Amino acid sequence: MSMVRSFSNRAHRPLALVLTMCMLLPMLAGCTGLGGPPEPNARVEADRSTINEGESVNFDARASTTPESTLITSYEWNFGDGARAETIQGYTSHTFSEAGLYEITVTVINDLGGDDTATTQLIVNGYPEISLSMPKAIRTGDVVVLDASASTDPEGGELTTVWDLDLEVDSDNDGDPTNDNDAMGATHQFTPYESGNYTGSVTITDNSDASATRLWNLTVLPRTYQVIWEEKTLTYEWDGYLEQGEIHTITHQPGDEGRIMSINATLTLAMDILPTMLPQDNFSLTVDVREDAWSHTIRTEQDNITRNASASMEHQNLNPTSSDAYNLTADSLEELLQMLDRQSGAGFGEGDWLWIIEAEEADPDLPIDDIDPDQGNDWELVVEFTFLVPRISEIGV
């Protein structure tokens, strides 16, 4: 019996040793090297969770730890965009050039070869993509439509559109003419009335404050007109009655009708009651164009007792003449008319014309029954103006 028990105790000793080793091995791992090197505990965080394309982010893994008696020797970074880096310090930065959702990984390694990995996520917001529709060239007075309504946001967010309509004008007086808010909205229309090259910009911003700006250029062309001068004649008539020493003045502006080329004026007095017995009256006629410092005076006379006393004046070539058709460019019809008025020597007579009629000789006639039968005289003034009037038609519309 005793031999049997002894044999049984010896048989169970190897099994107890195996069980003891199985319990000790996990406890010894990390301090004796059994089961692999001790592992660090990786930690990582970013200073921002969302950025815009082209911006950089700082990553910090300095909160990572490693067991006592070990040291962290390196940090291996994988930024998720194909770029990698290795640092000794647990701190780095990286710039992301494309929009998307990125998973950034850091692997922390200690001096015994142990490693651990931590990850963080980053959203890179894309800039709006500008789509601008507009003409390259228009004529003055035409409506131009700037249309950025087809612009998109990569993330599908709402967009805000701001227009700077002239990069040479600082409309908000902040010292920078390129950042003005002259108009808002996906589309804008305006009408340029002056020819030239216009340069502006459109800035589109998404709800993450990512902005994209695009310059635009617009050529505004003047209009082209054909000018043909046509002759026009107008006659003005006035009449009245003046006694000895009285004066009558007429003021008008015939230059509104066109370019004055010639005048022909005749002042006629009524025949006295007894033309063969009574002295005839004589008046003076003066024309005065004060803006042009030009005047002329004539006096009536009777060269035949059977005719009324009269006086005439005629003046020609008062302005340059033109008979051929020609083309001119201008920003508007109004500007063209001003150009025609400003042509050298072509503005004579555009102001007030004063016609002054004075009864210089209307002496009392021989009385009949103690009554002067004719104390003055009736007069009539007829003035004929010849104008050149431009007939204007726009061409190349």
171 in the same domain as 68: no
What is the residue-averaged pLDDT of the chain?
A: 87
51 in the same domain as 28: no
245 in the same domain as 149: no
The CB density around residue 212, as the number of other CB atoms within 10 Å, is 18
pLDDT band at 36 (very low <50, low <70, confident <90, very high): confident
Q: Is residue 130 part of a domain?
A: no
215 in the same domain as 233: no
Q: HSE on the CB side for 22, CA within 13 Å? A: 6
Find all residues with CB under 8 Å of 305, minimum gap 6, and list them.
275, 276
**Residue 6: predicted pLDDT:** 36
Element (H, E) at 336: helix 333-342
Question: Domain span at residue 82?
Answer: 45-125
3-state helix, strand, coil split of the chain in percent (to 5) is 10, 50, 40
Q: Which of 68, 97, 125 is the last residue of a domain?
A: 125
**Residue 3: predicted pLDDT:** 34
365 in the same domain as 294: yes
- Give the total number of structural domains in the chain: 4
**Residue 338: predicted pLDDT:** 87
Is residue 285 over pLDDT 70?
yes
Residues 295-299: contacts with CB under 8 Å, at least 24 apart: 298/267, 299/360
55 in the same domain as 165: no
368 in the same domain as 315: yes
Query: Tens of pLDDT along 138-185?
Result: 999 999 999 999 999 999 999 999 999 999 999 999 999 988 999 999
Q: Which of 94, 125, 156 is the last residue of a domain?
A: 125
Q: Is residue 132 part of a domain?
A: no
332 in the same domain as 365: yes
Number of helices (H) and strands (E), helices first, in the chain?
2, 24
Could you tell me the pTM of the whole model? Answer: 0.66
Find all residues with CB under 8 Å of 97, minimum gap 6, and list them.
53, 54, 81
237 in the same domain as 355: yes
CATH number at residue 281: 2.60.120.380
142 in the same domain as 113: no
236 in the same domain as 341: yes
Is residue 73 over pLDDT 90?
yes
CATH number at residue 206: 2.60.40.10
